[in-house]
Amino acid sequence: MTITQQEVQHVSLQKAQNYVNEVFEAVKKRNPNEKEFHQAVKEIFDSLVPVFAKHPHYMDNNVLERISEPERFLTFRVPWVDDEGKVRVNRGFRVQFNSNIGPYKGGLRFHPSVNASIIKFLGFEQIFKNSLTGQPIGGGKGGSDFDPKGKSDGEIMRFCQSFMTELCKYIGPDIDVPAGDIGVGAREIGYLFGQYKRIRGGFEAGVLTGKGLGYGGSLTRTEATGYGTVYFVEEMLKDKGLSFNGSTVIVSGSGNVSIYAIEKAAQLGAKVVACSDSDGYIYDAKGINIDTLKRIKEVERDRIQAYVKEHPDAIYHDNCSHIWSIPCDIALPCATQNEIDEKSAKMLVANGVKAIGEGANMPSTLEAIDVFLSHSILFGPAKAANAGGVAVSALEMAQNSMRMPWSFEEVDEKLYHIMKNIYQTSITAAKEYGHPGNLVVGANIAGFIKVADAMIAQGVI
Ligand code: NDP
């Protein structure tokens, strides 16, 4: 009996699917009760089936089982003294997930929800995101269950110093380069850098990114993730003859990523009518005033509700997840993981959304992604759409190595081209592997292949 080409393909797809399922079960068993990590692994694994079918040597080298096990996972005690003189203790984390294409690179998150599962999901995603940027950076992530909300400046400083006193043993400009994430901005990076410098006795600028401009930071780093997300979405829209110009946009969150996504979308002619924090959201039919927003969030460190005091036409609502009920053309989830569930996704689709760009990490549940893809909504997944932050971090590392700063325009231009490239690479991979237009599959495959090839080239290590 002759086996047709189609049957060969079918057999090998089935074999690839079996391999993926087997490794996924092993990951779940080895990392019990880590639902966010399982979710991130599942999304990537499922996308890779056509890769294994076409290139079985990745299965022969068991790349999947190796890539889903961190090279190193650190947890440590972070003791610090509050303003009342009371000793407090938090837990610190750093996952050094993969260093096959460069030093570990990924932010630090300070938020009470942080645990091993969250850090591993973020670190795992970071491997593929960093690979997609085309820059020589591996995957890592870290943080603490410390809650910066309501803490004084002195408390933040003492916490950061204690955190770095332990972390500094494991990082360095060629080893592992942390940056900011939720709850870690320029102020925290400053305290962390100061403590690292003090302990090491040298000015190793490239050990952290997101630094202040006066001591080795890069222009455009603050704006990079938000701007990059908008540049990426603009590329998706262009392919369909659409653009930000004249569109109505909603952006969740009101932190670093959200603020600069709002700013860039508005610069491109969009009207951004809503944003949120974890308490609620504001709706301003005239378009959010970016200067007011920046002052409230970056200078006064106040809640988003304060916006309506200055803009009485704007409305504040208590439930932040209801932001997705506002009709819009483009939605940019820029707050946190799993903020768009199936119900919210259906609501967005029913209200006519045309494109989603994930500024946050894993903001859509797997069910929500299915809703978007099955309705042919343009969908820019986080690891591609929000890669601009880490891309400019790598540019900051390059400037630190050269001891030479670049201008805002120079970095912004590089960021724009990197985002355009990520889009092209992802859309091309999606088509090549039989899922035209599916950027989830395309980004996962393109990010994976580069790292997998480097792993194989470097042997079983
Ligand atoms: P920030 O701490 O600056 O801002 C986070 C924002 O999200 C805050 O407004 C916060 O509100 C809000 N938020 C948190 N939880 C919820 C919730 N459940 N519902 C609604 N709003 C919520 O963090 P970033 O802007 O840096 O990060 C946001 C997202 O982007 C994260 O997923 C992060 O991993 C991702 N990211 C960030 C990068 C960066 O360069 N900073 C790079 C790539 C990805 P509140 O003040 O009430 O907590």
Pair 448, 59: CB distance under 8 Å: no
In a domain, 395, yes or no: no
Residues 6+ apart with CB under 8 A from 129: 139, 382, 383, 384, 386, 387, 390, 447
Residue nearest to atom 36 of ligand 1 (CA): 360
Look at residues 325, 358, 385 and tell me which one is the last residue of a structural domain.
385
Angle at 197 between CA 192 and CA 198, to 5 degrees: 100
Look at residues 385, 416, 443 and tell me which one is the last residue of a structural domain.
385
Q: Are residues 42 and 79 in the same domain?
A: no
User: Which residue in the block uniquely carries the two structure tokens 């360095």?
Assistant: 172
- Its domain, for residue 148, covers 72-207
Question: Residue 359: pLDDT above 90?
Answer: yes
Provide the CATH number for the domain around residue 148.
Answer: 3.40.50.10860
Name the residue of 278, 323, 334 to mutate for ligand 1: max ligand atoms within 8 A of Cβ: 278
The two structure tokens encoding residue 91? 């837990």
Q: Determine the length of the chain.
A: 461
> Closest ligand 1 atom to the C-alpha of 390?
42
Give how far the C-alpha of residue 243 lies from the chain's centroid of Cα atoms, to the nearest Å. Answer: 23
Backbone angles phi, psi at 270, to 5 degrees: -85, 160
Question: Residue 1: pLDDT above 60?
Answer: no
In a domain, 430, yes or no: no
Residue 461 pLDDT level (bands cut at 50, 70, 90): confident
In a domain, 436, yes or no: no
Backbone angles phi, psi at 172, to 5 degrees: 170, 160
In a domain, 139, yes or no: yes
Q: How many other C-beta atoms are found inside a 10 Å radius of the C-beta of residue 9?
A: 14
Q: Cα(257) to centroid of ligand 1, in Å?
A: 7
Q: Cα(334) to centroid of ligand 1, in Å?
A: 6
Q: Cα(378) to centroid of ligand 1, in Å?
A: 23
Q: Residue 443: name the closest of 72, 84, 129 by CA.
A: 129
Q: Are residues 286 and 351 in the same domain?
A: yes
Q: Are residues 173 and 39 in the same domain?
A: no
Q: Are residues 192 and 319 in the same domain?
A: no
In a domain, 458, yes or no: no
What pTM does this model have?
0.96
> Closest ligand 1 atom to the C-alpha of 363?
32
Backbone angles phi, psi at 397, to 5 degrees: -60, -40
Q: What is the pLDDT of residue 338?
A: 97
Look at residues 14, 47, 68 and tell me which one is the last residue of a structural domain.
68
Provide the CATH number for the domain around residue 253.
Answer: 3.40.50.720
Bridge partners for 317 per DSSP: 281
Q: Are residues 245 and 371 in the same domain?
A: yes
Name the residue of 218, 277, 332, 340 to mutate for ligand 1: max ligand atoms within 8 A of Cβ: 277
Q: Cα(373) to centroid of ligand 1, in Å?
A: 24
Residue nearest to atom 10 of ligand 1 (CA): 277
Question: Mean of the pLDDT values across residues 188-212?
Answer: 98
The two structure tokens encoding residue 160? 């950061």
Bridge partners for 142 per DSSP: 94, 108
Q: Are residues 143 and 37 in the same domain?
A: no
Q: Which of 105, 120, 129, 141 is catalytic?
A: 141
> Closest ligand 1 atom to the C-alpha of 279?
47
Backbone angles phi, psi at 56, to 5 degrees: -65, -15
Bridge partners for 251 per DSSP: 332
Order the strands of the 72-81 sheet from edge to edge: 72-81, 87-98, 138-144, 104-110, 176-179
Pair 272, 249: CB distance under 8 Å: yes
How far apart (Å, rounded) are the C-alpha atoms in residues 346 and 372? 8
How far apart (Å, rounded) are the C-alpha atoms in residues 98 and 175? 11
Give how far the C-alpha of residue 395 lies from the chain's centroid of Cα atoms, to the nearest Å. Answer: 17
Pair 161, 79: CB distance under 8 Å: no
Percent of the chain with pLDDT over 70: 98
H/E stretch holding 78 reads strand 72-81
> Closest ligand 1 atom to the C-alpha of 257?
25
Cβ burial, residue 33 (10 Å; 0-12/13-18/19+): exposed
Name the residue of 256, 294, 344 to mutate for ligand 1: max ligand atoms within 8 A of Cβ: 256
Question: Mean of the pLDDT values across residues 439-452?
Answer: 98
C-alpha atoms less than 13 angstroms from C-alpha of 368 in its C-beta half-sphere:
23
Q: Are residues 179 and 297 in the same domain?
A: no
How far apart (Å, rounded) are the C-alpha atoms in residues 89 and 101? 35
Percent of the chain with pLDDT over 90: 97
Q: Are residues 231 and 380 in the same domain?
A: yes
Q: Cα(253) to centroid of ligand 1, in Å?
A: 6
Question: Mean of the pLDDT values across residues 262-289?
Answer: 98
How far apart (Å, rounded) are the C-alpha atoms in residues 152 and 140? 29
Residue nearest to atom 46 of ligand 1 (CA): 277
Q: Cα(158) to centroid of ligand 1, in Å?
A: 23
Residues 66-88 have pLDDT tens digits of 999 999 999 999 999 999 999 99
Q: Are residues 41 and 85 in the same domain?
A: no
How far apart (Å, rounded) are the C-alpha atoms in residues 297 and 459? 48
Q: Cα(264) to centroid of ligand 1, in Å?
A: 17
**DSSP label at residue 2:** P
Q: Cα(265) to centroid of ligand 1, in Å?
A: 18
Q: Are residues 98 and 182 in the same domain?
A: yes
Q: How many other C-beta atoms are found inside a 10 Å radius of the C-beta of residue 350?
A: 11
In a domain, 427, yes or no: no
Pair 328, 302: CB distance under 8 Å: no
Residue nearest to atom 40 of ligand 1 (CA): 389
Q: What is the pLDDT of residue 321?
A: 95
Question: Mean of the pLDDT values across residues 385-402?
Answer: 98
Question: Residue 11: pLDDT above 80?
Answer: no
Question: Residue 2: pLDDT above 80?
Answer: no
Number of structural domains (the chain) is: 3
Question: Mean of the pLDDT values across residues 339-365?
Answer: 98
Cβ burial, residue 292 (10 Å; 0-12/13-18/19+): middle
> Closest ligand 1 atom to the C-alpha of 179?
40
Give how far the C-alpha of residue 264 lies from the chain's centroid of Cα atoms, to the nearest Å. Answer: 18
Q: What is the pLDDT of residue 7?
A: 57
Question: Mean of the pLDDT values across residues 91-95?
Answer: 99
Question: Mean of the pLDDT values across residues 366-372?
Answer: 97
For the question of residue 141 being annotated catalytic, the response is yes
In a domain, 216, yes or no: no
Residue nearest to atom 2 of ligand 1 (CA): 182
Q: Are residues 247 and 371 in the same domain?
A: yes
Report the pocket of ligand 1 as residue ranges, CB < 6 Å: 180-183, 225, 252-258, 276-279, 320, 334-336, 339, 359-361, 386, 389
Residues 223-270 have pLDDT tens digits of 999 999 999 999 999 999 999 999 999 999 999 999 999 999 999 999
Q: Residue 192: name the closest of 224, 158, 219 by CA.
A: 158
Name the residue of 225, 279, 301 to mutate for ligand 1: max ligand atoms within 8 A of Cβ: 225
In a domain, 55, yes or no: yes
Residue nearest to atom 16 of ligand 1 (CA): 278
Residues 140-194 have pLDDT tens digits of 999 999 999 999 999 999 999 999 999 999 999 999 999 999 999 999 999 999 9
H/E stretch holding 65 reads helix 63-67
Q: Are residues 274 and 160 in the same domain?
A: no
